[in-house]
């Protein structure tokens, strides 16, 4: 297999739904990031072989193609949109890496975009002509109604199963915001200013008192999940540029390149999405002879504080390497873009890492899916 390298990575700030990006569609979010990534790498639009974007809420069509054309890429460049819900952005990178590794491409733009604020209204067509459409917020994620809980409900059940209190969840959320505040300069460097935002809008000085006052969003027997421990719905785009070794040799001297080491996609119990990261990352470790303490930086999705707590504890992830720029609890969760944001974060967090250091990014999705990648500085 041909070696693959990640050589440029940028993103927009993350804005809570109906916030600073409430008027922006997917093209408005993603096009400036594509242009910034190309400028960072020194490559031209004519050198791109493929665009792959994750998206969950656009509502149909192929937004990757629309975005590629709007960004000025040649009409000969194909655009592929994938939807694996929260895993979409990371899975897009995985597909791009596989295309280069197999020799089918040399330069791939991959990532994710989500305009939750401008998402399509979704409805089932009425059976009878006089009936009204049946609007819905989310599709089914499993074929079994009794095993298709809302994400918040499954998080609350996980809290009950592992005895994770609200105080523990609040503590994780407070720490996520605190790390993001300390890392503002690093976060600003990876973000492309847009619509008056230069860094993630949701980050704040979250106190224990404020966290305790936030309402509960789900409860399972004696355990609960609250707003402080839940990542906000949000808008954002994140793009990475993947290249072959031959193309890397043509890039300007000093280009920061991270080698694509390995990746994985897998599943866990369909009705426990927050748990899925554990068995999938364990398989990744086993297949590649890796351990949690091998990593210089770890970007773990924080859809819920309880999910991050259980994942980190079960995998033995070292906390001093984990989400050092804060996590999704401190920025928000733009579904199709969140996985790609983890990759952008890993790329920039590894800027000063010793050569040979490893980074891990992992995310879980509705339906009990999970994806992870490993990069080497």
pLDDT tens, residue by residue, 305-346: 999 999 999 999 999 999 999 999 999 999 999 999 999 999
Single out the catalytic residue among 86, 87, 191, 240: 86
The two structure tokens encoding residue 348: 């920039």
Question: Does 160 participate in catalysis according to the annotation?
Answer: no
CA atoms within 13 A on the CB side of 20: 16
pLDDT tens, residue by residue, 23-73: 999 999 999 999 999 999 999 999 999 999 999 999 999 999 999 999 999
Q: Mean pLDDT over residues 258-262, rounded? A: 98
Q: What percent of the chain has pLDDT over 90?
A: 98
Q: Residues 306, 274: contact at Cβ < 8 Å? A: yes
What pLDDT shows up at residue 290?
Answer: 98
What pLDDT shows up at residue 72?
Answer: 97
362-375 as b/e: b if 16+ CB within 10 A: bbbbbbbbbbbbbb
Q: Residues 295, 194: contact at Cβ < 8 Å? A: no
Query: What is the rounded distance in angstroms from the CA atom of residue 106 to the CA atom of residue 2?
Result: 10
Residue 86's SS3 state is: strand
For 2, other C-beta atoms within 10 Å of its C-beta total 14
- Nearest one of 332, 347, 323, 333 to 239, comparing CA atoms: 347
Query: What is the rounded distance in angstroms from the CA atom of residue 260 to the CA atom of residue 243?
Result: 10
Rounded to 5 degrees, φ, ψ at 42 are 85, 5
For 197, other C-beta atoms within 10 Å of its C-beta total 18
Question: In degrees to the nearest 10, what's the CA dihedral of 336, 338, 340, 344?
Answer: 150
What pLDDT shows up at residue 325?
Answer: 98
Q: What percent of the chain has pLDDT over 70?
A: 100
Question: Does 86 participate in catalysis according to the annotation?
Answer: yes
Query: What is the rounded distance in angstroms from the CA atom of residue 145 to the CA atom of residue 122?
Result: 19
Q: Which residue has the higher pLDDT, 138 or 300?
A: 300
Single out the catalytic residue among 87, 191, 296, 333: 333
Residue 151 CA from chain centroid, whole number: 16
pLDDT tens, residue by residue, 122-151: 999 999 989 999 999 889 999 999 999 999
Query: What is the rounded distance in angstroms from the CA atom of residue 115 to the CA atom of residue 304?
Result: 21
What pLDDT shows up at residue 223?
Answer: 97
């Amino acid at each position: 297999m041909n070696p693959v390298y990640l050589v440029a990575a940028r993103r927009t700030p993350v804005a809570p739904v109906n916030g600073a990006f409430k008027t922006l569609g997917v093209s408005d979010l993603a096009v400036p990031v594509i242009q910034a990534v190309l400028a960072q790498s020194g490559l031209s639009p004519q050198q791109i072989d493929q665009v792959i974007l994750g998206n969950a809420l656009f509502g149909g069509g192929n937004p990757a193609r629309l975005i590629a054309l709007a960004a000025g890429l040649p009409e000969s460049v194909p655009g592929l949109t994938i939807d694996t819900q929260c895993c979409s952005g990371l899975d897009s990178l995985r597909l791009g890496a596989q295309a280069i590794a197999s020799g089918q491409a040399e330069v791939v733009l991959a990532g994710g975009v989500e305009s939750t604020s401008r998402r399509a209204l979704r409805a089932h067509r009425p059976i009878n002509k006089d009936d009204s459409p049946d609007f819905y917020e989310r599709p089914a994620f499993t074929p079994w109604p009794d095993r298709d809980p809302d994400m918040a409900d499954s998080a609350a059940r996980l809290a009950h199963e592992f005895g994770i209190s609200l105080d523990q969840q609040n503590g994780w959320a407070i720490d996520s915001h605190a790390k993001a505040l300390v890392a503002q300069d690093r976060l600003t460097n990876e973000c492309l200013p847009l619509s008056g935002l230069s860094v993630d809008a949701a980050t704040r000085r979250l106190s224990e008192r404020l966290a305790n006052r936030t309402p509960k969003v789900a409860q399972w027997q004696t355990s609960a999940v609250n707003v402080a421990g839940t990542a906000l719905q949000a808008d954002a785009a994140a793009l990475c540029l993947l290249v072959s070794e031959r193309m890397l040799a043509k890039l300007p001297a000093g280009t920061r390149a991270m080698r694509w080491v390995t990746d994985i996609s897998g599943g866990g119990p369909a009705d426990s999405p927050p748990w899925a990261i554990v068995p999938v990352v364990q398989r990744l470790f086993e297949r590649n002879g890796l351990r949690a303490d091998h990593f210089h930086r770890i970007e773990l999705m924080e859809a819920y504080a309880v999910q991050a707590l259980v994942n980190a504890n079960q995998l033995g992830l070292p906390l001093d390497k984990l989400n050092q720029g804060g996590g999704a609890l401190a920025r928000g969760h733009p579904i199709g873009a969140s996985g790609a944001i983890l990759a952008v974060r890993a790329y920039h967090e590894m800027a000063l890492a010793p050569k040979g250091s490893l980074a891990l990014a992992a995310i879980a999705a509705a339906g009990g899916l999970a994806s992870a990648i490993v990069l080497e500085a």
